[in-house]
A and B are shown apart, each in its own frame.
Chain A
Amino acid sequence: MNNIDNYKINFGPQHPSAHGVMRLVLDLDGEVIKKVDAHAGLLHRSIEKLCENNLYNQNVGYMDRLDYVSMMSNEHAYVLAVEKLLNIKAPIRAEYIRTMFDEITRLLNHLLWLGAHALDIGAMALFLYCFREREDLMDCYEAVTGGRLHVAYYRPGGVYRDLPNEMPKYKGDNFSKKRLDDLNYNRSGSLLDFISNFTERFPKFIDEYETLLTENRIWKQRTVGIGVVSPERAINLGFSGPMLRASGVEWDIRKKQPYAVYDKLDFKIPLGSNGDCYDRYLVRVAEMRESNKLIKQCVEWLYKNLGPVMIEDNKISPPARIDMKNSMESLIHHFKYFSEGFLVPEGEVYVATEQPKGEFGIYIVSDGSNKPYRIKMRAPSYVHLSAVDELARGHLIADLVTIIGTLDIVLGDVDR
């Protein structure tokens, strides 16, 4: 009998289920995977080096471009780190707005993940359903910031502006009168009204997704028992977020080391037990329900309590345009803020936040200047992708697609 060696194939760099430009070199024995060699870095932009050469207030925009489906959560970690170094705290209303948008971002991320993951496995319809809801949430982003993806909304010391009183409406001749009325049905009020209306509708939508998948025989055959990670291994591999919770480790930074206003809100941590792809799916869907509750609580609070959304220290936040025309001091502050930025005291800080994908950490070394001396992003996708070899060994090629999907990687985050 001839000795047949394992053979190698390339998975990617351009492969639809690699979720971006990622190259995997697979060692195969028949259809069974013997080894996965992941080549990351095809999207490397050296954001860390770029950030070191920018002012502190210029870096918020780069955070959006790391994990480009959970934009505001990334910004949150960065502004918290800068605030910790400056020893300031954002106003309470800003913290509620941040919390609300963090959870909206979590929905955005999980919806994209669910749609794309189901599409990878072969459930076509769900992709369209998920994007229907994403559209509404993107409109919330657009209403408050003007951008749909890269928004740069959070600033050190607060958020850029308060929530608008009016929700933008559809208009134009391409729609009939009745269609326009339908589209603008829940857009007559403020942004908060729109979000509030969304949280009322959303649980039914999650039920819809679950009807399609949770008890679906094909879905279960493709996900149950695939890519199992024990709790000990999950911790040792540095997993965080849903990846860790699906293995049954009760760890959520929002609960254990609360930031923003998570300690004032009521929510649960969904846990899995088997640590396979199916449990990770269940955890993420349950997380969407919890996020929905959190948004509801934030909306209620924001209705009742008005106030500033930016710290009133013109060394850190730019003065209002109208003040600049009347006050010499404001003019100087404006000039200094945009030409020199602000100086951050010497020190080192590591701030971790519960981003939709897991623990997103920002490590800043400051030497007392107006630019971060060293900034490092702890990207959850990077850590999760590093475990793909261990997860995929012994599975079939088709299961590798499931495993990559369940890791919830975004290559902007992996490669930075």
Chain B
Amino acid sequence: MLEYIKNIINNKFYNNANIVTSTTNEITIDIEKPVFIDFCKLIKNDENLKFDGLMDVSGVDYLDYGKSYWETIDSTSKGFSRGHKADINYSLYMKKRFCVSYHLLSYSKNKRLRLRVFADLKDMCVPSVVNLWSTANWHEREVYDFFGIIFLGHPNLIRILTDYGFEGHPLRKDFPLTGKYEIRYEENKEKIIREASSIKRIINTPKIVRKDFRYKK
């Protein structure tokens, strides 16, 4: 099947689609936005592929990708750089910041496929696939809610899982884990008020990426 998809890409979507191989035996295809809908239509209707099930749509924010709070590389000369050091200025990921992953399933061929479309803060729009797979309706609303990615052509793109009147997109990496606001009942005013969150976040276990591969076989 991989060969067949490669052929399609070489013939019709040259330069616009890219197959990413991974160690986990899952096929991932990165697609440019302009040809995305065409590609989806093709793999959904092609007799040899028949990806008629869309199982999942999820967003990913690559802002902190590969960043660690605790550098271990200099451990011998200076000791560990203990504690919070969040503003290390590099990211392993040089592509665009946001990505939308689509997990497709072909019931008749028993195959799975992942499509990825990238977006950036300058251009947060991604074409909607609701017309192809009805199930995308709520999935895309969820991605919009959590990441602020706008799906062009979606019939009812409103928030779904967060509270009524919520501000911000909570699964972005620059959104604090503790939230921005807290809500409580103020007795004197006899109404519910919203204040800035007073919770202090404590990091018990720092995120670590090891770049020391001396002992790796």
Q: Is B138 an interface position by the 8 A CB rule?
A: yes
Are A40 and B107 interface neighbours, CB within 8 A? Answer: no
Nearest chain A CB to B144 CB, angstrom units: 13
Q: Which residue of A49, A84, A343, A373 contacts B210 across the interface (Cβ within 8 Å)?
A: A343
Residues on A with beta carbons closer than 8 Å to the beta carbon of B60: 365, 373-374
In the bound complex, what is the Cα–Cα distance between A348 and B115 (angstroms)?
12
**Across the A-B interface, the 6 shortest Cβ-Cβ residue pairs:** A238-B135, A386-B138, A41-B161, A376-B58, A378-B56, A369-B209
Given A236-B133, A343-B208, A348-B114, A363-B56 contact (CB < 8 Å): yes
Are A369 and B137 interface neighbours, CB within 8 A? Answer: no
Nearest chain B CB to A39 CB, angstrom units: 8
Residues on B with beta carbons closer than 8 Å to the beta carbon of A367: 65-66, 92, 209
Q: Is B188 an interface position by the 8 A CB rule?
A: no
Residues on B with beta carbons closer than 8 Å to the beta carbon of A40: 160-161
Q: Is A340 an interface position by the 8 A CB rule?
A: yes
**Chain B residue with the shortest CB-CB distance to A53:** B177
| Range class of the B interface residue count | 35 or more
Given A50-B177, A340-B208, A376-B56, A41-B24 contact (CB < 8 Å): no
User: Which stretch in A133-141, A163-171, A249-257 binds the other chain?
Assistant: A249-257
Residues on B with beta carbons closer than 8 Å to the beta carbon of A345: 23
Given A343-B210, A349-B24, A363-B56, A374-B61 contact (CB < 8 Å): yes
Are B101 and A363 interface neighbours, CB within 8 A? Answer: yes
| A-B CB contact pairs (8 Å), 25 listed | A40-B161, A41-B161, A41-B163, A44-B161, A50-B177, A235-B107, A236-B52, A237-B134, A237-B135, A238-B54, A240-B55, A341-B205, A343-B209, A348-B22, A348-B24, A349-B26, A350-B103, A367-B209, A368-B66, A368-B210, A371-B205, A373-B64, A374-B58, A378-B55, A383-B138
Residues on A with beta carbons closer than 8 Å to the beta carbon of B23: 87, 345, 347
Are A257 and B110 interface neighbours, CB within 8 A? Answer: yes
Are B107 and A251 interface neighbours, CB within 8 A? Answer: yes
**Chain A residue with the shortest CB-CB distance to B61:** A374
Residues on B with beta carbons closer than 8 Å to the beta carbon of A359: 55
B-facing residues in A359-387 (Cβ within 8 Å): 359, 361, 363, 365, 367-371, 373-374, 376, 378, 382-383, 385-387
Residues on B with beta carbons closer than 8 Å to the beta carbon of A376: 56, 58
Nearest chain A CB to B193 CB, angstrom units: 21
Q: Is B18 an interface position by the 8 A CB rule?
A: no
Residues on B with beta carbons closer than 8 Å to the beta carbon of A382: 138, 142
Q: Is B180 an interface position by the 8 A CB rule?
A: no
Q: Is A46 an interface position by the 8 A CB rule?
A: yes
Given A236-B133, A238-B133, A373-B65, A340-B55 contact (CB < 8 Å): no
Question: 1/0 per residue B136-148: CB within 8 Å of A?
Answer: 0111001000100
B-facing residues in A373-407 (Cβ within 8 Å): 373-374, 376, 378, 382-383, 385-387, 390
Residues on B with beta carbons closer than 8 Å to the beta carbon of A235: 52-53, 107
Q: Which residue of A49, A238, A348 contacts B177 across the interface (Cβ within 8 Å)?
A: A49
A-facing residues in B28-77 (Cβ within 8 Å): 28, 52-56, 58, 60-61, 64-66, 68
Residues on B with beta carbons closer than 8 Å to the beta carbon of A416: 161
In the bound complex, what is the Cα–Cα distance between A374 and B100 (angstroms)?
12
**Chain B residue with the shortest CB-CB distance to A81:** B24
Are A383 and B24 interface neighbours, CB within 8 A? Answer: no
Residue numbers of A with Cβ under 8 A of B are 40-41, 44, 46, 48-50, 53-55, 84-85, 87, 233, 235-238, 240, 249, 251, 256-257, 339-341, 343, 345, 347-350, 352, 359, 361, 363, 365, 367-371, 373-374, 376, 378, 382-383, 385-387, 390, 415-416
Are A236 and B135 interface neighbours, CB within 8 A? Answer: yes
In the bound complex, what is the Cα–Cα distance between A347 and B21 (angstroms)?
10
Are B161 and A369 interface neighbours, CB within 8 A? Answer: no
Q: Which residue of A237, A240, A249, A256 contacts B110 across the interface (Cβ within 8 Å)?
A: A256
Are A339 and B205 interface neighbours, CB within 8 A? Answer: yes
Residues on B with beta carbons closer than 8 Å to the beta carbon of A46: 170-171
Q: Is B97 an interface position by the 8 A CB rule?
A: no
Nearest chain B CB to A413 CB, angstrom units: 12
Residues on A with beta carbons closer than 8 Å to the beta carbon of B114: 348, 350
10 new A-B contacts, CB < 8 A, other than A343-B209, A370-B207, A382-B138, are A41-B162, A237-B134, A238-B135, A340-B205, A350-B56, A363-B101, A368-B209, A374-B60, A387-B134, A416-B161
In the bound complex, what is the Cα–Cα distance between A416 and B145 (angstroms)?
14
**Chain A residue with the shortest CB-CB distance to B65:** A367
Residues on A with beta carbons closer than 8 Å to the beta carbon of B103: 350, 361, 363, 378
In the bound complex, what is the Cα–Cα distance between A370 and B69 (angstroms)?
11
Residues on A with beta carbons closer than 8 Å to the beta carbon of B154: none
Nearest chain B CB to A180 CB, angstrom units: 46
In the bound complex, what is the Cα–Cα distance between A41 and B142 (angstroms)?
10
Are B208 and A370 interface neighbours, CB within 8 A? Answer: yes
In the bound complex, what is the Cα–Cα distance between A386 and B137 (angstroms)?
8
In the bound complex, what is the Cα–Cα distance between A237 and B135 (angstroms)?
4
Residues on B with beta carbons closer than 8 Å to the beta carbon of A343: 208-210
